[in-house]
């Protein structure tokens, strides 16, 4: 079975907190491959929210991603793209409060 490995640097401001961890786990769950994340001495299943959160990876941390299985290359590529996009958090953080992605404000008129 193919094995694909990459080192990824977490660059979003808050690291692998709840929302990015959830997105990573959801992405990993789309694939049949066994996917592991390593940070420091810990290695966890990338399909486990508890495991990913337990890593405690912060901004600037380098995590090692390893996938083994028929769809390993696609799995690693998808997770790598998610990390490179900062888990889509920067876009949301830069958006003015009350403005949605649909262009409709959540504020009520005066």
Q: Active-site residue among 6, 17, 54, 77?
A: 17
- Please name the residue that has the structure tokens 């808050």: 14
Compute the distance between CA of residue 27 and CA of residue 79 in angstroms, rounded to an integer. Answer: 7
Compute the distance between CA of residue 74 and CA of residue 77 in angstroms, rounded to an integer. Answer: 5
- Active-site residue, 64 included: no
- The pair of structure tokens assigned to 66 is 């390893």
Residues that are catalytic: 17
């Amino acid at each position: 079975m193919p094995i694909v490995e990459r080192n990824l640097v977490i660059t979003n401001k808050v690291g692998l907190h709840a929302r990015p961890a959830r997105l990573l786990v959801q992405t990993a769950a789309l694939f049949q491959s066994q996917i592991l994340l390593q940070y420091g001495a810990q290695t966890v299943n990338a399909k486990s929210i508890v495991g990913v959160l337990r890593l405690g990876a912060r901004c600037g941390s380098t995590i090692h991603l390893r996938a083994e299985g028929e769809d390993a290359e696609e799995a690693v590529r998808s997770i790598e793209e998610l990390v490179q996009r900062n888990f889509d958090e920067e876009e949301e953080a830069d958006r003015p409060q009350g403005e949605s992605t649909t262009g409709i404000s959540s504020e009520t008129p005066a």
